[in-house]
Chain A
Amino acid sequence: MSSANDIVRLESISKSFGGHGVVHNLDLCIKDGEFVTLLGPSGCGKTTLLRIIAGLETQDYGRVFIGGKDVSIIPPNKREVNTVFQSYALFPHMTVYDNVAFGLKMSKVPKDEIKERVKEALDTVMLGNFADRMPQNLSGGQQQRVAIARAIVKRPKVLLLDEPLSALDFKLRKQMQTELKHIQRKLGITFVFVTHDQEEALSMSDRVVVMNEGVIQQDGSPKEVYENPKNMFVAKFVGEINVLQAVIEKTINGKLRANVEGRQCRLTKKHTYVEGDSVKLLLRPEDIRLEHIKDADSDYPLQGIIEETTYKGATLDSIVRLDSGTVIMASEFFDEDDPEFEYKTGEKVAVKWVDGWEVLLPDD
C-alpha cells in the first residue's frame, strides 16, 4: 500500500485513554494532494487519529511519518501540518490579522513577507476587509474562515480539519463545503478531514476512510464506500439502506437464485456465495422501484403494502411492509410522463430493483 508519494503514513498506531482503547493497531497511508475524510460516529477514534497526526496526542504504539520523515516523537510545533479546530480556537485577544500572522511570527518570517502572506490567506477565504476585526465580532462562518486562513498561511504539507463545519447552519455548511474543495484544489495541499456527516464525507472527498471503535472499516472512494459497503457497519452508517434476509438456493455460473424474504428472486450480478449460504441483501432506497399491481395473481417476486408516502419535492418516499413483515423504504424520482405517480396507503405494490445493484453481505 505504501509508496513514495505518501505524504502521511501511519504504522500500527494504537492509543488508549485511561485503559480505554480508542485506536487499535491502525495503518493508513495518505497520498500527496489527496482529500481524505475520516468518517465515523462520535467516539470512533477519528479525532484522536487526527490529533496524533498533528502531534497533539502521542500514540502509545506505532509510528507516524509525514513527508517520508519519522515524526513519531516530534512535538506539534515542529511538524509541517496545521489544524483547523472544531471550536475554531481563535485567539480572542488578537485581531484577525494577528491570528493569521501568529504562525508566521512564531517561525520568525520577515515582517514584509508576513504582511503579504496574511493578505493572500485572507483573500483566499474572502476576508480581505476583516483584518482589523476582533474574532468575537465575527459571525460563525467568518470565524471559520479565519481559522482556515490561519492554518493555510504556513503552507503546511497537510491540513487537518476536525469537524470544521459542524457548528454552521445547513446552508452555510453547504457553501463552505464547496469553498473548502476550491481552496484544496487551488493550494494543492493534502486535506485530512474529520466528520461524522456521511453526506459531507461523500460529497467532498477523494477517499473516505470509515472508522468505528478505533478500527478502519472501509477505505475507498466515496462511490465504492456507498455502492459496495464491505460490512454491515459501513452499509448502515453511510446513507440509508434496506436490509433483507436471503438464503442462496442455487448457483448457475456464479448467478444466483435466492430466497429473499420468503420469495424467489434471481440475482444477475456475480456473487461468490454458494448454495445454502445465509446472506443479507442490501438495497439503497433510491435503487428500489415500486409498481402498482394490476391483476390479483400476478407473479412478482417481492410484494408489499404501502404504509406511508412522503412527498419530498424531487422524490416520493414510500414505506412498504413486505409480505414477510419486513419494512423497507423506497425513494423514487418523479416521472414527468406519469401523472398518476403516487401510491395510496394500503395499496399492494411490487418491489423491484435495478438488476445487479444489490449488495450481498454474509449473515452473521
Chain B
Amino acid sequence: MMRTLKIGYSSLVYAFLYVPIFVLIVYSFNASKFGTTWQGFTLKWYQNLLENTSLMTAAGNSVLVATLSATCATIIGSLAAVAFYRYTFKGKKVIMSLVYILMMAPDIVMGISLLILFVTIHMEPGFITLLLSHITFNIPFVAVTVMSRMKGFDKNLFDAAGDLGATEFQTVRHVLFPMMLPAVVAGWLLAFTLSMDDVIISFFVTGPDFEILPLRIYSMVRLGVKPEVNALCTIMFTLSLVIVMISQILNREKK
C-alpha cells in the first residue's frame, strides 16, 4: 500500500515536470499548424527553422556569447575557487558570501542594475554589454561548482607536493589543476547552458542590433506559439540534456 502510494506520488511529480516537454517534442513533429490535434508526422518545421536566416543568426549569436562568456567565467571562477581553497586572506569569508549572494540574486535585479551601470558609463547596449553581463552571472556558478569538488580533496596532497620539492606554482599546476579539471569542465558546461537560455538579464542589456535566441523566441511566442518554436525548443532541450549528462559524468567521483 505504502509502496504504491510512493510510486504514484513520484510518478505524478515527474509527470508534471516532463509531460509538457514530451508534448512539445511530439508536437514539433506534428503536421498540424495549430498544434492541438495530431495530423501526421513531419519534419517541415525543422526545415522552416533552417531556412529562417534571422532566427539562425540569433542562434549563432547565442552560441557565440555562450561560448565566450562560459570560457571567461570558467577562467575567472576557477581561479577564484583556487584562491578560496588554497589561501587564507583578509575578508575571505565576506568575498565568499558575496559569490553566493550573486548566485542567489534575482535575475531581474541583476538585469536592471547592469543596465543602469552600462547607461551610467555610456556603453552602447549590444554584444559587449551582453557578454560582460553573461560573464558576470556565470562566475559564481563556476566558482561554486569547482569549490564543491575541491572540498573532497585531501589537503595533505598539497603538503606532499611541497615536501617533494614542488613550488607553489608547480603544486597548483601539477596536482591541484589536474584534480580539479573535471569540475572546471563541468563548470564550463553549466555556464554555457545558463548563458544559452538566459532571457531576463539579456533582455535588459542587449541592444536591437544583437539578437539572441531566447529573446527571439520570446518575441515570437507573443504572437502565438509557432510550430517552428517547438522544433527549436526540442533541439535546445536535446542539446542541454547532452551537456548536463556530460557534466554529470565528468563530476562523478572516481571510485
Indicate which residue in A78, A85, A93, A102 contacts B179 across the interface (CB closer than 8 Å).
Answer: A93
Chain A min CB distance to B55 (Å): 43
- Chain B residues lying within 8 Å of A150, measured Cβ to Cβ, are 160, 164
Q: How far is the CA of A36 from the CA of B160 in the complex (A)?
A: 21
Instruction: Decide if B165 touches A89 in the complex (CB within 8 Å).
Output: no
A150 to B165, CA, bound (A): 12
Contact A136 B166 (CB under 8 A): no
Interface membership of A301, Cβ < 8 A: no
Shortest CB-to-CB span from B108 to chain A, Å, is 42
CB distance from A284 to the nearest CB of B (A): 38
Determine if A82 and B254 form an interchain contact, defined as CB atoms under 8 angstroms apart.
no
| CA distance in complex: A309, B144 (Å) | 61
CB closest chain-A residue, reference B255: A136
Check A102–B161 contact: CB distance below 8 A: yes
CB pair B170 A54 closer than 8 Å: no
Write out, one digit per residue, whether chain B residues 148-171 have a CB within 8 A of any chain A CB (1) or not (0): 000000101101111111110010
Whether A343 is near chain B, meaning CB under 8 Å from some CB there, is: no
C-alpha gap A136/B254 in the complex (Å)? 9
Most chain A CB inside 10 Å of its own CB: which residue of B156, B165, B179, B254: B165
Q: Which residues of A contact B161 (CB under 8 A)?
A: 91, 102, 106
Q: What is the interface of chain B mostly: helix, strand, loop, or mixed? A: helix
Separation of A45 and B226 alpha carbons in the complex (Å): 73
For chain B, the count of residues having a C-beta within 8 Å of the partner chain is: 19
Q: At the interface, yes or no: B178 with Cβ under 8 Å from chain A?
A: yes
Decide yes or no: A102 and B178 within 8 Å by CB, A87-B154, A89-B154, A136-B254 being known contacts: no
Cα separation A228 to B248 with both chains bound (whole Å): 62
A91→B161 CA distance, assembly (Å): 9
Query: In the complex, are the beta carbons of B163 and A76 less than 8 A apart?
Result: yes
Asked whether, in the complex, the Cβ of A83 is within 8 Å of the Cβ of B255, the reply is: no
Indicate whether B92 reaches chain A with its CB closer than 8 angstroms. no
- Beta-carbon contact of B164 and A102 below 8 Å: yes
Question: For chain A residues 13-36, which have a beta carbon within 8 Å of chain B?
Answer: none
Q: Is the CB of B165 within 8 A of A77?
A: yes
A154 to chain B: which residues have CB within 8 Å? 164-165
Does residue B93 face the partner (Cβ distance < 8 Å to A)? no
Cβ contact within 8 Å between A77 and B162: yes
**By the criterion CB–CB under 8 Å, are B255 and A77 in contact?**
no
Pick the contact of A83 from B160, B170, B179 — CB < 8 Å? B160
A352 to B157, CA, bound (A): 54
A32 → chain B, closest Cβ, in Å? Answer: 20
Inter-subunit contact B156/A93 (CB<8 Å): no
Q: Is the C-beta of B82 less than 8 angstroms from some C-beta in chain A?
A: no
- A51–B160 CA distance with the chains assembled, in angstroms: 11
Kindly report which residue of chain B lies nearest to residue A153, judged by CB atoms: B164
A75 pairs with B162, CB closer than 8 A: yes
- The answer, yes or no, to whether A56 is at the interface (CB within 8 Å) is yes
Q: How many chain-A residues does the 8 Å CB contact rule pick out?
A: 26
- CB pair A76–B159 under 8 Å, yes or no, is yes
Q: In this complex, what residue of B is CB-closest to A86? A: B156
Instruction: Give the Cβ gap from B119 to chain A, nearest Cβ, in Å.
Output: 47
How many Å from the CB of A73 to the closest CB on chain B?
15
Task: Tell yes or no: A220 within 8 A of B by CB.
Answer: no
- Chain B residues whose C-beta falls within 8 Å of the C-beta of A151 in the assembled complex: 163-164
Chain A neighbourhood of B163, CB < 8 A: 54-56, 76-77, 81-83, 151
Residue of A nearest to B181 (CB): A93
Per the 8 Å Cβ criterion, residues 167-196 of B in contact with A are: 167, 170, 174-175, 178-179
Bound form: Cα–Cα A102–B178 in Å? 14
Q: Is A110's CB within 8 Å of the partner chain B?
A: no
Q: A87 contacts which of B156, B170, B179, B254 (Cβ < 8 Å)?
A: B156
In the assembled complex, which residues on chain A have CB atoms less than 8 Å from the CB atom of B157? 89, 91-92
A89-B159 in contact given A102-B174, A136-B254, A136-B255 (Cβ < 8 Å): yes
Nearest chain B CB to A77 CB, angstrom units: 5
Contact A106 B160 (CB under 8 A): no
Structural contact, B156 and A103, CB atoms closer than 8 A: no
Nearest Cβ distance between residue A290 and chain B, in whole angstroms?
Answer: 49
Interface string of A62-89 (1 = CB under 8 A from B): 0000000000000111100111011101
B-contact bits for A103-134, CB 8 A (1 contact / 0 none) = 10011000000000000000000000000000
Q: How far is the CA of A105 from the CA of B150 in the complex (A)?
A: 25
Known contacts: A77-B165, A106-B165. The answer to whether A89 contacts B170 by CB under 8 A is no
Inter-chain CA distance A54–B163, complex, in Å, is 7
Q: Which residue of A lies closest to B178 (CB)?
A: A93
Chain B residues closer than 8 Å to A89, beta-carbon distance? 154, 156-157, 159-160
**Given A102-B174, A136-B255, A76-B156 contact (CB < 8 Å):** no
Name A102's closest neighbour in chain B (CB-CB): B164
Give every chain A residue within 8 A of B167 (Cβ-Cβ): 77, 106
Q: Which residues of B contact A75 (CB under 8 A)?
A: 162
Give A107 to B156 CA distance when docked, in angstroms: 20
Shortest 7 CB-CB contacts between residues of A and residues of B: A103-B164, A89-B156, A89-B160, A106-B165, A76-B162, A106-B166, A93-B178
A and B contact pairs by CB, cutoff 8 A, 6 listed: A76-B159, A77-B162, A77-B166, A83-B163, A102-B161, A106-B161
Can you add 15 more A-B contacts, CB < 8 Å, to A87-B156, A89-B154, A89-B159? A54-B159, A76-B159, A77-B162, A77-B166, A77-B167, A82-B163, A82-B164, A85-B156, A89-B157, A91-B160, A91-B179, A93-B178, A93-B179, A103-B165, A154-B164
